[in-house]
Amino acid sequence: MENDMRSQFPDIPKEKLKLVQRDRRITDQKLETKSIGYFKDVWLRFKKDKSAVVAFILIMILLLFSMFVPFISPMNVSFREENFSYMLPKIFSNTGFWDGTFQTEQTQGGYDIIRGIGVESGLSPISGEVRQFTASDGTVRYSFRQDSYYTPGYEIKVVGEKDFQAMMAFQEEKKIQIFYPIPATWNVKFTGYSAGNYWYKLKNETATSNGEAVYDENGDYIPNYLTSENPAAGGYTGTRLAGDDGGEDGKSWYTYAMKVQGGYRVRINLYNDFIYRNGFAPVFIFGTNVYGQDIFSCLAYGGQLSFILAISVCLINFMIGAVYGAVEGYYGGTTDIVMERISDILGYMPFIVVATLFKLHLQDQVGPLFSLLFAFVLTGWIGMAARVRMQFYRFKGHEYVLAARTLGARDRRLIFKHIFPNSLGTIITGSVLAIPGVIFSESMLSYLGIIDLNTSSMTSIGTMLSNGHDCLRTYPHVILFPALFISILEISFNLFGNGLRDAFNPSLRGAGD
């Protein structure tokens, strides 16, 4: 075609050519839209993915829960109330749901004991209506909702002099009765409940008693306390039960204390005793476990540990992996092959083996937490390095890199200023997605008992899970909450990571609008 034109117009004289538009300034048209930076673009695309935003909010909730509950809760990991073990979760009162009660059915004996717990103090474990019916085997049974918080009832124990005086003073001050009269059968080793609960006249007063009571003419319990002539027997000078007036002869005062070696033998109401010792009434939002630890607080502490561990591990892995991968990818050649071999071999070591070896060697020196951290860091950077290396190979050959090098840029500048920012998206996504992996591995190791992060002031989610598994059949609430916590965490991180990955992918710009 060119030759055609040349032959048609062989000679174009110079005068025929005229310059046009000389008086006008021709510039590019201004962009109609605002230009958005890289991160603004990422943020906009992220916001569009509703599930990722919701997931992010959930993660924040869990994070805030782990950070703030330790400050506002009066209970922490070292808080152990053995008497209040296996308490049910309680937020509301008397609603039948989440109020610390459970539906139960008892024979006459069991019913008598449980009802008896509430008679003296007014703190009755029976909440709501009692339904009496005859079972298929002919026995009379009672069906009702039992409040687990009042079930521990009473206990007969020995307290020291100072405690004795302090508790009596507390009784006076707060008008909360801790000491109750000692029953005549205090020495019998009953099976079932502790001797402190068998305060009324029993049909069978030996150790095999099933708790059935002998009723008086009104159908009430008959108190079966120790009595003495001296109202201050045993050194007791505190408030007395209503109806404790010395009896008809003025010589049968209830005995509240017996002086023994080392202190006083007394019968205490465990609920009020809890209030005395801790200053607040027992309310456990997620219940307690076998040791009497509050699951709500322990979950927060465990979550704290998990988050701190996971975030530090990911940060360290990110730094090591990025540098390693950058060096590998940038220099290539033999350096690359050697470094690849090393990371390959390290990568094939089973993680459990690494964790165990580190624990066995370092546990005495730096503690279980740091040995676990080292174990994670030893092999965790490998994935990150592989990703960074791949990104480097992709962008190494681009022209602007060549141009920068021609202009004299040093290696370090090329790596960090030119090539690295391209892979920022994958790197950040990879780091974020590694966090749930760390938490999961840590919980798995704790559950298996390989790593024992359970000290008196520290607990982890895996430990809580293993505690809960033992009582799965009878008290599922112990395992429910940690399992829920970790499930929500994992699901949210997955959604969040997916959202991040799509957000950082600039080729999706304009897709899905």
> Which residues form the interface with other proteins (CB under 8 A)?
344-345, 348-350, 352-353, 356-357, 360-361, 436, 440, 443-444, 447-450, 465, 469, 472-473, 476, 479, 483, 486-487, 490-491, 493-495
Q: Closest CB to other proteins among 188 and 483?
A: 483
Q: Closest CB to other proteins among 241 and 444?
A: 444
DSSP string, 304-340: HHHHHHHHHHHHHHHHHHHHHHHHHHHH-HHHHHHHH
Q: Closest CB to other proteins among 213 and 461?
A: 461
Distance CA 291, CA 268 (A): 20
Q: Closest CB to other proteins among 291 and 351?
A: 351
Instruction: Give the shortest CB-60-to-other proteins separation in angstroms.
Output: 18
Instruction: Give the shortest CB-59-to-other proteins separation in angstroms.
Output: 12
Instruction: Give the shortest CB-104-to-other proteins separation in angstroms.
Output: 17
Q: Closest CB to other proteins among 282 and 436?
A: 436
Mention every residue, 6+ apart, whose C-beta is less than 8 A from residue 486: 439, 440, 443, 461, 465
Q: Please give the DSSP secondary-structure letter assigned to residue 385.
A: H
Work out the angle at residue 420's Cα, subtended by the Cα atoms of residues 343 and 512, and round it to the nearest 5 degrees: 105
Distance CA 232, CA 257 (A): 9
The sign of the dihedral angle between the CA atoms of 464, 465, 470, 472 is positive
Q: Do 452 and 362 meet the contact criterion of CB atoms below 8 Å apart? A: no
Q: Closest CB to other proteins among 283 and 483?
A: 483
Distance CA 494, CA 513 (A): 23
Instruction: Give the shortest CB-440-to-other proteins separation in angstroms.
Output: 5
Dihedrals phi, psi of 134, to nearest 5 degrees = -105, 125
Q: Closest CB to other proteins among 114 and 355?
A: 355
Q: Please give the DSSP secondary-structure letter assigned to residue 15.
A: G
Instruction: Give the shortest CB-98-to-other proteins separation in angstroms.
Output: 19
Dihedrals phi, psi of 227, to nearest 5 degrees = -125, 160
Q: Closest CB to other proteins among 202 and 479?
A: 479
Instruction: Give the shortest CB-91-to-other proteins separation in angstroms.
Output: 22
Distance CA 116, CA 55 (A): 50
Q: Closest CB to other proteins among 232 and 360?
A: 360
Distance CA 5, CA 100 (A): 97
Q: Do 359 and 450 meet the contact criterion of CB atoms below 8 Å apart? A: yes
Instruction: Give the shortest CB-384-to-other proteins separation in angstroms.
Output: 19
How many CB atoms neighbour CB 447 within 10 A? 19
Instruction: Give the shortest CB-233-to-other proteins separation in angstroms.
Output: 46
Q: Closest CB to other proteins among 336 and 490?
A: 490
Distance CA 410, CA 13 (A): 54
Instruction: Give the shortest CB-360-to-other proteins separation in angstroms.
Output: 6
Instruction: Give the shortest CB-423-to-other proteins separation in angstroms.
Output: 23
Q: Closest CB to other proteins among 113 and 451?
A: 451
Q: What is the 3-state secondary structure (H, E, C) of 193-244?
A: CCHHHCCECECCCCCCCCCCECECCCCCECECECEECCCCHHHCCCCCCCCC
Q: Decide: residue 225, CB within 10 A, 0-12 exposed, 13-18 middle, 19+ buried.
A: buried
Instruction: Give the shortest CB-295-to-other proteins separation in angstroms.
Output: 15
